Amino acid sequence: MSGHSKWKTIKRQKGVEDSKRGAIFTKLSKSIILAVREGGGATDPASNFKLRLAIDSAKASNMPKDTIDRAIEKGAGKGAGELHEAVYEGFAPHGVNVIVEAATDNPTRTGQEIKNIFNKAGGSFGKVGSSSYLFNKMGEIYIEKSGKSFDDLFALAVESGAEDIEDFGDEVIVYTQTSDLSKVRDQLVSKGLAITDAKFTLKPTVKISLPKDEQDRVIDFLNILEDLEDIQEVYSNLQV
């Protein structure tokens, strides 16, 4: 099993503890809008799995129902401006591979902002494909241990169709093929397990280990990227 990263831990803590609720809700609203649009305008989470995941994440962050509903309406074309998905790639300090996913009304502006951050940090902004070949798109499910052992959860996850599982403190992370995320999630729920998050992710196939001072520099860089309003997700292959 692959080891969990310090960056992933910080991201999870940040999502729960970050006091900048407005910025978090903006990111979550954009996820909902894009999920509706990618689903052909389907506003029913029962028939639009990506929307279902986006709504679940919003609820987990205590996003008000009326804010969720407004985002769904915007995604259906009611009062929404242009919103584009954009993906940027590059290298953090010390050669760590990075992929940045954004939702923006101006990809050129957002790309320049990201490029400036790479340059100021001593990293380098890459071309399409410069980092993505080192990542696999997968489903990712977080499960509370709730007193169960890792071995017990491992057995339940494999039985449900999981590809991999990581120990993550009070939780475990279950990885699935993207096409199996909905099925595996529902199987785990049916077994009485507490799902705290489920989403599509990019999992690195090769990880880079660094001394602590260099790790900290990379983590600071990743945090700066993630704090940009247009950024939805930041992935890296940093390994502790």
Lowest model confidence (mean pLDDT) among 1-5, 166-170, 216-220? 1-5
Fold type of domain 6-75 = Arc Repressor Mutant, subunit A (1.10.10)
Cβ contacts of 57-64, under 8 Å, gap ≥ 24: 57/28, 57/31, 57/197, 57/199, 58/25, 58/28, 58/29, 58/31, 58/32, 60/196, 60/197, 61/15, 61/24, 61/25, 61/28, 63/24, 63/25, 63/28
Judge whether residue 140 has pLDDT over 90.
yes
Structural class in CATH, domain 134-204 = alpha beta
> Average of pLDDT values for 78-91?
82
Query: pLDDT band for position 24 (50/70/90)?
Result: confident
The pLDDT assigned to 22 comes to: 77
In the chain, DSSP assigns E strands to 84-91, 97-104, 124-126, 135-144, 164-168, 171-176, 195-204, 208-209, 231-236, 238-239
β-bridge mates for residue 167, sequence order: 172
Query: pLDDT band for position 79 (50/70/90)?
Result: low
The pLDDT assigned to 4 comes to: 41
Fold type of domain 84-133+206-239 = Alpha-Beta Plaits (3.30.70)
Where are the domains positioned within the chain? 6-75, 84-133+206-239, 134-204
Identical fold at 84-133+206-239 and 134-204? Answer: yes
Give the model confidence (pLDDT) of 143-152 as tens digits. 999 999 999 9
